[in-house]
Amino acid sequence: MSTTVILGAQWGDEGKGKLVDVLAGNSDWVARFQGGNNAGHTVVIGNRTIKLHLLPSGITRKSCQLILGDGMVIDPWVLDQELKKWKDETEEEPDKDRLFISDRAHIILKFHRLVDGLDKKIGTTGRGIGPTYSDKINRIGLRFADLKHIINNSQWISEMCTLYNRVLNSLDIEEKITEIDLKNDLEWIHNRFGHAIKNTGVMLDNALKMKENVLLEGAQGCLLDIDQGTYPFVTSSVTSRANASHGVGIHPGHIDEVIGIVKAYTTRVGHGPFPCELKDDVGDYLTEKGHEFGTTTGRRRRCGWLDLVVLKHSHRVNGFTSLAITKLDVLGGLDTLKICVGYRANGAEYHNLPASITELENAEPIYIEMPGFPALNDEEWIKLARKANDENLGLSVLHPNAQSYLQQIENMLEIPLHSVGVGPDRDATIHLF
């Protein structure tokens, strides 16, 4: 029995889906514990690219049971579309026998998407995530467990329509929510997914008692955590280790391993401070070579050098047992590599991440420089990774400068490396554990 948590250690988009896909081969369960379809995980298997938004990345392994956990907010229409697409591609219907929706998860409705679409300041995905979490905290949200009890409750439906329309009117949104439309939506959700709604916390607890292996898949990254991130430019949920077990309904003592996923450089999507952002030819190089465009929105990601201030903060919050470095291959071809080891702002020097957004916006990175390493094509990287794994050669297959870069990260963070990704394909990973 083991429970492993996979977490983004930066601002998300680190490649969590790829590692979950790899580790799911030895897992019985993969569960999402927070967020919704504001997350996008990509898995590449040969010539096939799979883009996921709500479905756990373990879906690629038919032996894996899948859970959308208690802490999630779920858009049933998006989930339906994902499942239809999966059926078209594979002829499989996972919601019939191995995909389960927590009865404690909250439902994203049309109202939530309308409200979220107004955001211009934070740079959200506009998928209704924040407004649904807001209703959850205000204790007026709708959970999957309550669907069957309120479908025919005309008083509840009337009161919610009145409330929703009052909010929409205050925001100058002309579209309204009618009682008949809301009732029809609720009936559709229950008819479509009622068979998959379960007490998933009990299911996972029983699985662990049976000595089965569980993967808990995080969405976004530590720096987007509502409490520990670069507030207010964050997501609406707790993305960190403390919520991993809580968000699927098991206790934290079950967690054995926490793998932090770290891109070999740094990216973020949307607005907010980014001290290491590169608005030059190197930034453009990382964007184009790394295909840095959001899986969910298609937005161009902002790119910059690796930031150890961010990673030290993330490690303090999450207690990583190891790090999985991804996209090392993207740095190939650059003459010089830089690593941020601190900030200067307002006459002061910082080696811990400041909470103040003003201090972060004014921060100038302090860098150390290292020599770069040659570029390789995708097939050459895959060949190196396979050789390393087949012959147990580890990092020794890499160019000496690439080895030095990775060793510098490992030494300065004092966290062992779990694996190194050298391309998008499932096989383009050097395993070190």
The per-residue pLDDT for 347 is: 86
Query: Catalytic site residues?
Result: 13, 41
> Does 393 have pLDDT greater than 70?
yes
The per-residue pLDDT for 398 is: 98
Q: Length of the chain, please?
A: 433
Q: What does 45-107 look like in DSSP terms, one character per residue?
A: ETTEEEEESSS-GGGGSTT-EEEE-TTBEE-HHHHHHHHHHHHHHHS--GGGTTEEEETTSEE
Report the percent of the chain where pLDDT is more than 90.
Answer: 87
Domains of the chain: 2-87+199-431 (3.90.170.10), 106-195 (1.10.300.10)
Mean pLDDT in residue range 236-263: 97
Q: How many angstroms from the chain centroid is the CA of residue 176?
A: 32
3-class DSSP assignment, residue 369: strand
Residues 325-368 have pLDDT tens digits of 999 999 999 999 999 999 998 888 999 999 999 999 999 999 99
Q: Which two tokens stand for residue 384?
A: 């190196």
Q: How many CA atoms lie within 13 A of 433 on its CB side?
A: 12
Residues 65-114 have pLDDT tens digits of 999 999 999 999 999 999 999 999 899 999 999 999 999 999 999 999 99
Q: Which two tokens stand for residue 286?
A: 């990382």
Spell 14-49 as b/e; 16+ CB within 10 A means b: bbbbbbbbbbbeebbbbbbbbbbbbbbbbbbeeeee
Mean pLDDT in residue range 293-312: 89
More confident residue, 40 or 12: 12
> Does 168 have pLDDT greater than 70?
yes
Query: pTM here?
Result: 0.94
Q: Which two tokens stand for residue 274?
A: 């980014």
The per-residue pLDDT for 49 is: 83
Residues 280-297 have pLDDT tens digits of 999 999 999 999 987 666
Cα 197 to Cα 65, 205, 228: the distances in Å are 14, 17, 31
Please state whether the peptide bond connecting residue 374 to the residue before it is cis, i.e. omega within 30 degrees of 0: no
The per-residue pLDDT for 121 is: 62
Would you place residue 178 in the very low, low, confident or very high pLDDT band (cuts 50, 70, 90)? very high
